């Protein structure tokens, strides 16, 4: 894959995932978190069938040989990430959730340092700091003093756990068997996730936590299924293969940037001066972390 294409896919992935945070917050009080996760991946699995079953069947011998590895990918990339993530979003503030998501790239870097023994250059370290500051400025609305007023609770712990699970998944993609069709791979992971997600969904049903299948709720599930799952996971996996886990992880800093842009376009909010400063810092940081990377 060309580097420019890998970066484009990472940008689109960040765009789709910036909408996931909005979905998670919009679903609060409407769709229980485990129910949202279960139907998100059930829908994604069904969407994949017409496109992915044939390549999966053609490579079924590889999946049979590495079935335990596939279960691990499914657990850390889907179950261990989405269950704590949506649960955490519904038990914390939007600011806390966005700030903790900004820690995702750092956790990926630390995981790769431990597992893959990768090292960061001085420009990548500086770029990481600039990107963190930029994304934090957006989340804090330009008021650094807001940090002293933050209160962290159980929901925040679950978001951190979800980021750790995603970091493990991203780094361990290095051991994905060569030659696997990308559609078949995500199809298998989504299928394997369903029996692992089902107990959480049944637990919510047993406690009377259900949702009304209104057009809005169905729309939230469809967005999370198609854009934030099917398309985003395909783009993410291909990009990690091309640029590695560290550089791919830095694209997470674009999520609050896109969140701001969508707020202006969709909600009619006004761009403040701190937005401009934050975006400049974020994009400068991304440039410094990616400029020396080759295929």
DSSP string, the chain: --HHHHHHHHHHHHHHHHHHHHHHHHTTTTS-HHHHHHHHHHHHHHHHHHHHHHHHHHTHHHHHHTHHHHHHHHIIIIIHHHHHHHHHHTTS-HHHHHHHHHTHHHHHHHHHHHHT-----HHHHHHHHHHHHHHHHHHTTT-GGGGGG----HHHHHHHHHHHHHHHHHHHGGGSPTT--HHHHHHHHHHHHHHHHHHHHHHHHHTT------HHHHHHHHHHHIIIIIIHHHHHHHHHHHH-HHHHHHGGGHHHHHHHHHHHHHH-PPPPHHHHHHHHHHHHHHHHHHTT---
Higher pLDDT, residue 254 or 275: 254
What's the burial of 160, exposed, middle or buried (CB within 10 Å: 0-12/13-18/19+)?
Answer: middle
Place of tokens 């559609």: 183
pLDDT at 187 over 90: yes
pLDDT tens across 58-93, in order?
Answer: 999 999 999 999 999 999 999 999 888 878 877 766
pLDDT given at position 185: 93
pLDDT tens across 135-180, in order?
Answer: 666 656 666 666 666 566 777 788 888 888 988 998 898 899 988 9
Region 195-223: mean pLDDT is 91
pLDDT given at position 229: 87
pLDDT at 295 over 60: no
pTM comes to 0.77
Portion of the chain with pLDDT greater than 70, in percent: 78
User: Domain spans of the chain?
Assistant: 3-290
Closest Cα partner for 269 from 141, 116, 135?
141
pLDDT given at position 200: 93
pLDDT given at position 205: 92
pLDDT given at position 289: 64
pLDDT grade, residue 121 (50/70/90)?
confident
Tokens standing for residue 34 = 């485990």
pLDDT given at position 79: 94
pLDDT grade, residue 123 (50/70/90)?
confident
pLDDT given at position 97: 64
Question: Rg of the chain's alpha carbons, rounded to an integer?
Answer: 19
On whether the CB atoms of residues 82 and 41 are closer than 8 A, the answer is yes
Tell me the residue length of the chain. Answer: 295
pLDDT at 254 over 80: no
pLDDT grade, residue 248 (50/70/90)?
confident
Measure Cα distances from 39 to 85, 157, 172, 202, 251 in Å.
15, 24, 26, 12, 27
pLDDT given at position 60: 94
pLDDT given at position 53: 93
Higher pLDDT, residue 196 or 276: 196
Region 267-279: mean pLDDT is 67
CA distance 65 to 42: 25
pLDDT tens across 13-24, in order?
Answer: 988 887 776 776
pLDDT given at position 198: 96
On whether the CB atoms of residues 164 and 107 are closer than 8 A, the answer is yes
pLDDT given at position 133: 75
């Amino acid at each position: 894959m060309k580097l420019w294409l890998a970066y484009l896919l990472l940008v689109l992935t960040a765009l789709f995932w910036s909408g996931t945070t909005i979905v998670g917050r919009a679903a609060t009080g409407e769709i229980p978190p485990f129910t949202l996760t279960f139907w998100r991946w059930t829908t994604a699995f069904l969407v994949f069938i017409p496109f992915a079953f044939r390549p999966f069947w053609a490579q079924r011998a590889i999946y049979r040989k590495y079935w335990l590895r596939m279960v691990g990918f499914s657990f850390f990339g889907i179950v261990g990430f989405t269950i704590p993530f949506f649960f955490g979003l519904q038990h914390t503030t939007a600011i806390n959730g966005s700030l903790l998501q900004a820690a995702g790239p750092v956790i990926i870097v630390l995981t790769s340092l431990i597992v893959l023994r990768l090292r960061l250059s001085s420009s990548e370290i500086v770029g990481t700091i600039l990107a963190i500051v930029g994304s934090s400025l957006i989340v804090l609305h330009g008021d650094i003093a807001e940090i002293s007023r933050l209160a962290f609770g159980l929901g925040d712990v679950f978001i951190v756990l979800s980021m750790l699970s995603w970091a493990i998944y991203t780094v361990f993609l290095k051991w994905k068997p060569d030659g696997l069709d990308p559609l078949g791979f995500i199809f298998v992971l989504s299928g394997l996730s369903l029996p692992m997600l089902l107990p959480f969904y049944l637990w919510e049903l047993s406690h009377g936590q259900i949702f009304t299948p209104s057009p809005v709720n169905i729309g939230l599930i469809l967005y999370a299924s198609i854009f934030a799952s099917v398309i985003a996971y395909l783009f993410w996996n291909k990009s990690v293969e091309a640029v590695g886990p560290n550089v791919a992880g830095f694209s997470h800093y674009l999520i609050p940037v896109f969140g701001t842009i969508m707020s202006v376009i969709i909600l009619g909010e006004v761009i403040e001066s701190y937005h401009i400063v934050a975006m400049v810092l974020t994009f400068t940081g991304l440039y410094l972390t990616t400029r020396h990377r080759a295929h």
